[in-house]
Structure 1
Amino acid sequence: MADLPECPSMSDGLLPAELYAWMVMLASTNAAEQELHSVVKERLGVSHDEFLILCLLAGQADTGLRMTRIAELLGRPKTRLTYQIACLQHAGLITRKSVCGDKRGVEVALTDKARQQLKEGSEVLAATVKQAIARFMGPEQRAAMCALMPEVASGVASDAADDAVEASVAE
């Protein structure tokens, strides 16, 4: 793997810094996604796509999400989502219920079993993401990513990264 500059703005290539930064971010997230495939299957017994659904639901505390909203957030057709939801329900990881007042609407939520599995596997999954991103990004890039996703670089966003993001937003 080629050495990457520590910061996208340091690129002296043909691409503007923003495009180069975007490409580095895509490369690192794609690497993390590829590594997560096997770890998710091993730890949770679900596909990566099903894992993404579980992650969306995990962010909902004790409530669920409508299937249409999940399809929108993941950018996938509802027909494909229906199959994945059925697999997760069969595995005992989600519940499905009709939305009150809308007989066409279906809301899904995590079961206690899913919450427990996510809790038990989250540290290994987070470490997998962190390692994949670290291979593609230098310290300054990780600090910038950390400002967007606080747990990626070290568990807590650095004040310097926060200040840099706030300064760039203010400009």
Structure 2
Amino acid sequence: MADPEEHPTDLPECPSAQGAGLLPRELRAWMVMLAAVGAVEQRLGSVVKERLDVSHDEFLILCLLAEQPRAGLRMTRIAELLGRPKTRLTYQIACLQHAGLVTRKSVCGDKRGVEVALTDKARRLLEEASGTLAATVTGALSHVMGPDQHEAMYGLLPDLAAEPAKPEAR
């Protein structure tokens, strides 16, 4: 296993970032992105378990709900956004509900529809853990994303290099 203190420039070159193979730049960028996501998930898993006492998949559900109005999201939409089977999602939502992190309610006028929302407890826990979680993501990305990987990512987002960063609206 790589030394966590190892700097990205000390890492061997990422073959997908080089551009010397058969893949078009979009697919090279996709491979770099998958490696970055894997690195983040690997580091984030233990932090999420320690700070929030939920699985990584349950954490993704909490994150989706945290970006929504207090009304929440329908379970079918959560399953769609996460690319998860509805049956698996039902189990995960039940675990989150048992932990007091989400509420479920029937959708008015649709007896089969179920809407899920964060509880105040979940909002508080996410707020308290957000600094640590963000630092974990940033650390994992900076560990695997050197200049070659940044350049490769422009294969997926070519306009990113041309556009100045826009301040985030709050």
TM over 0.5: yes
Q: Deviations over 1:50-72 (max 9, x none)?
A: 00100010010322000111111
Distance 1:61 1:117 in 2: 17
How far the C-alpha of 1:144 sits from its partner, in A, is 8.4
- The alignment status of 1:120 with 2:99, answered yes or no, reads no
Please, which runs of 5 or more residues in structure 2 have no aligned partner?
A: 1-10, 165-170
Q: Which residue of 2 aligns with 1:164?
A: 162
Aligned counterpart, 2:117: 109
Residue number in structure 1 paired with 2:57: 49
TM-score by length of 2: 0.78
**2:116, 2:96 → 1: CA distance?**
10
| Counterpart pick for 2:97 among 71, 79, 89 | 89
- CA RMSD in angstroms, aligned pairs only: 2.7
1:39-78 maps to which residues of 2 (within 5 A)? 39-78=47-86
The alignment-based identity, stated in percent, is: 71
Measure the CA separation in 2 of the matches of 1:13 and 1:55. 37
Equivalent pairs counted in the alignment come to 152
Amino acid at match of 1:90: H
Q: Which has the higher contact order (CA 8 A, sep 6+)?
A: 2
- 1:133 and 2:141 are equivalent in the alignment: yes
- Aligned CA distance change for structure 1 residues 143 and 116 (closer, same or farther; 3 Å): farther
Query: CA, structure 1 residues 32+26, in 2 after alignment: closer, same or farther (shift >3 Å)?
Result: same
Per-residue Cα deviation, 1:116-171 (whole angstroms, up to 9, x for no partner): 1101111111111111111222247548869x9xxxxxxxxxxxx855258xxxxx
> 1:3 aligned to 10, 13, 19, which one?
13
- The residue aligned with 2:3 is none
Amino acid in structure 2 at the alignment position of 1:164: A
Contact 2:106 2:115 in 1 (8 A): yes
Task: State the alpha-carbon separation in 2 of the partners of residues 16 and 144 from structure 1.
Answer: 10
Match in the other structure for 2:23 = 15
